[in-house]
Structure 1
Amino acid sequence: MLTTDAPTREQLVRRASELLPVLRKNAAWSEENRRIHDESIEALADAGIFKMRVPARYGGYESDTRTLVDVAAELGQADGSTSWVASVYTIPTWMTCQFPDAVQDEVFSTPDVRVCGTLSPTAMAAPVDGGVVVNGKWAFISGALHSHWQEVVAILVPPAGEPYPIMALVPLSDLQIVDDWHTSGLKGTGSVSTVAADVFIPAERVLPLPAVLQGQSASTLNAGSPIYRAPLLPVASASSVGTVLGLARAAREAFFQRLPERKITYTGYASQAEAPLTHLQVAEAAMKIDEAEFHAHRLATLVDTKGAEGAPWTLEERARARADMGAVCRLGKEAVDIYALASGGSSVYSNQPIQRIARDVQAVNLHALMHPNTNAELYGRILCGQEPDTLYL
């Protein structure tokens, strides 16, 4: 078995920082072509970004959650779409590590393997000898165009008993890709739809989704690793928020780069930097970024600490994990909106990064799992002693 000395968080963040010039150079191309540039994918692979959730026995780093947040935040300062795809890959990669070890041997035999995925059960599965046959379509599959495998979710209808959701692994070559990613934000992610038409999946590559949601793994060799023994939703929540931090920081950078040369048109201010309104705006935005960082790091610390301790999760902790994710999204977007509004009419030109940043952070906030209102309501529901109305907790 291959092992490697994993880089530290600081080393991985530094590697991510070194990628910013190439990611910035390719950002406009990615947006225009609705997919991450191949050069950016290769740069991420060379920096080891795709190894962060891969087990050490395959040469992976088994990085903790805080590292995922900080790396994605760094990447997000260059391009939200690239950061989003890199972050999304870490979630299905972690989910792959819940499967039997022989399945992992197959998936991780590909160097720098990329696994895309979904949590939406928008397909149906029928039991057959040796496995299941799946039919259906999944939307919003970020990074599918550069993936080797997809983690899919479907509703299995057994011969007896109630239907239930399953999670399975499928080679991308077994699926059809529908090029339908025509959007206003995160355009470069290539989050196309995929379709299964009578796709057979062997039983060893199928797990009951409720078990995974509760932190029950089918892997023997990963049982001792802290990062693989957490429930799925807190892991997914913590893995997603770094991009928002990066976008907010990118908006701040874009605003202050233009500030010295700007005035406020149709006013007496020859310098925008001298206006009290500007002082209030940038102070408020800076505080919102600080608050977003607090929630992102509190979430990551909770996931990492619970994993290290092997401690059970309470219902309130699970709900708070989603609430922290929603808070990061809300605060990050509010900060970006302040900088965008303060950037004036000239910022609408497509060569100004602030307009892309604003559209990207809006798209993140609309994501069903990340929507601030949905997550706040769920947290409040649990705080009021009500039962959760979702499995995704």
Structure 2
Amino acid sequence: MASNAALVELPRSAAPQAVTKEELLERARALAPEIAALARETEQARKPLDSVIRKMDEAGLFTALTPKRWGGPELGLDTQLEIVEIISSACMSTGWITAFYIGHHIFACRFSEEAQAEVFANGPRCLLPASFNLLMDAKPVDGGWRLTGKATWGSGIMHADWVMVGGHSEDGNRVFLLPVKDVTVKDVWHVAGMAGTGSNDIYVEDVFVPAHRAVRQEEFVIGTTEGAQKLGNPMYTAPIMPLIYSEIIGIFSGGLRGAQTNFAETIKNRIRAVTAQVAAERPTTHIDIGQSFATLDAVEELARSVVRRTQALAASGDRSLAPRLELKALTGLTANMCRQAVNEMINRGGSSLFLSERPLQRFFRDINMIAIHAHWDCEIGYEQLGRNFIGLEPNNPLV
């Protein structure tokens, strides 16, 4: 039976506000070696390490997309991509949480101005998990809603200060924003991949949520909420699915860079146990290393294309289906390329790569797990794009 999980409340950082992209990237690069050294410990802890989250918070990394209205630098999705790549190349579990803690500032800004003021009352960052599955019952009451149920896959909950969940009611689905004190967390995160994310289940029991912290799901997803529009930046009003793709794409490209770096160094120095043959002398080794570099370069270009196209989509105000489906398929393609590449690395590297202390086996498990996530499963993405091309409606809600 799952036990309650102990959450960690971080003090609000007093670090000077970073105002440029390069400042944040320099701070991320400075933290990456320590995060890499602690990746195995993170996996064993089954959640992000308190010390690591605290240092990233103090470095201001999570504030990259916070609006200037609330004291943030209001940088672009390209900044998010590069920070997430740096952290994910060191530890994909930590990179996953980093992506959520940066990108979900946009989610917080879809709520009313009053709700945003509460979220940012003590500083320009919020640590916000978001679970859109509709396992919550919402009942209208005077002044708001009473919410009961659970939210699964709660990535980011272990250090959260706010929580966002989906709920269903008789007159339509809504998205709700709650302070973390209003929820209970069950320790259920026992997994083979992305084990260090601490993505535990979130429970809510008859909690009152005021009306200003609830929005209709369709408005939240398409980006037409009044709170987002008041900020005057199209990044905050873009359709949600492309924003999610831009949020997570750096986990793939960064994770593959971590895997490729480890693979190339390992295979270069490999001596076969039975034959004592030096791998670096074999032409096949040269091909394997060259292919890994070329694939990584292609994946990083694809990641940047997803982000550029999402930024252009946001700026245009286009809410039509076709560009969203193109981005979904492109993200799925990127994920599948990473999965195929890391699987090939494992196949070429030998069984010793599965020793627990070898980073590549962790990258292998992590990439394989998130590559089949429902939001960017490649076959689903290809199918939806193909259906649109021949004039059929989507048969999957995640578009």
What TM-score do you get using the length of structure 2 for normalisation?
0.91
Kindly provide the amino acid, as one letter, of the partner of residue 263 in structure 1: I
Kindly provide the amino acid, as one letter, of the partner of residue 181 in structure 1: W
Q: How many angstroms apart in 2 are the aligned matches of 1:141 and 1:106?
A: 22
Kept in 2, the 8 Å contact 1:62–1:227? The answer is no
Kept in 2, the 8 Å contact 1:72–1:83? The answer is yes
Residues 349 and 218 of structure 1, relative CA distance in 2, 3 Å threshold: same
Structure 1 residues without counterparts, runs of 5 or longer: 159-163
1:323 to 325, 329, 346: 329
Kindly provide the amino acid, as one letter, of the partner of residue 328 in structure 1: T
1:91 to 103, 124, 129: 103
Deviation string 1:195-231 (CA, Å, 9 cap, x unpaired) is 1111111111000011122220221674411311211
Deviation string 1:262-318 (CA, Å, 9 cap, x unpaired) is 123445x7221222222332333333222222221111001212333x431331101
Q: How many angstroms apart in 2 are the aligned matches of 1:220 and 1:26?
A: 37
Q: How many angstroms apart in 2 are the aligned matches of 1:383 and 1:294?
A: 25
Kept in 2, the 8 Å contact 1:134–1:196? The answer is yes
Aligned to 1:155: 168
2:69 to 30, 40, 57: 57
Q: How many angstroms apart in 2 are the aligned matches of 1:329 and 1:157?
A: 37
Kept in 2, the 8 Å contact 1:291–1:331? The answer is no
2:131 to 110, 115, 118: 118
**Helix, strand or coil at the partner of 1:292:** helix
**Helix, strand or coil at the partner of 2:206:** strand
**1:367 aligned onto 2:373:** yes
Residues 222 and 279 of structure 1, relative CA distance in 2, 3 Å threshold: farther
**1:132 aligned onto 2:145:** yes
Residues 135 and 87 of structure 1, relative CA distance in 2, 3 Å threshold: same
**Helix, strand or coil at the partner of 2:68:** coil
4+ runs deviating over 4 angstroms? none
Aligned to 2:248: 240
Aligned to 1:292: 299
2:356 to 341, 350, 353: 350
Deviation string 1:309-333 (CA, Å, 9 cap, x unpaired) is x431331101011112111211112
Q: How many angstroms apart in 1 are the aligned matches of 2:36 and 2:61?
A: 17
Q: Aligned ranges for residues 1-393 of structure 1 at < 5 Å?
A: 7-111=19-123, 112-158=125-171, 164-219=172-227, 222-266=230-274, 270-308=277-315, 310-393=316-399
Kept in 1, the 8 Å contact 2:139–2:146? The answer is yes
Kept in 2, the 8 Å contact 1:282–1:339? The answer is no
Q: CA deviation at 1:5?
A: 7.4
Kept in 1, the 8 Å contact 2:101–2:126? The answer is no
Q: How many angstroms apart in 1 are the aligned matches of 2:56 and 2:371?
A: 25
**Helix, strand or coil at the partner of 1:290:** helix
- Larger mean CA deviation between 331-340 and 32-41 belongs to 331-340
**Helix, strand or coil at the partner of 2:226:** coil
Q: How many angstroms apart in 1 are the aligned matches of 2:266 and 2:154?
A: 35
Q: How many angstroms apart in 1 are the aligned matches of 2:230 and 2:310?
A: 17
Kindly provide the amino acid, as one letter, of the partner of residue 285 in structure 1: S
Q: How many angstroms apart in 1 are the aligned matches of 2:37 and 2:272?
A: 30
Q: Let me know the Cα RMSD of the aligned residues.
A: 1.8
Deviation string 1:54-81 (CA, Å, 9 cap, x unpaired) is 1112221222111111111111111100
Report how many residues are paired: 383
- Larger mean CA deviation between 16-25 and 383-392 belongs to 383-392
Kept in 2, the 8 Å contact 1:286–1:335? The answer is no
Structure 2 residues without counterparts, runs of 5 or longer: 1-15
Kept in 1, the 8 Å contact 2:188–2:201? The answer is yes
What TM-score do you get using the length of structure 1 for normalisation?
0.92
Kindly provide the amino acid, as one letter, of the partner of residue 356 in structure 1: R
Q: How many angstroms apart in 2 are the aligned matches of 1:276 and 1:232?
A: 46
Residues 339 and 200 of structure 1, relative CA distance in 2, 3 Å threshold: same
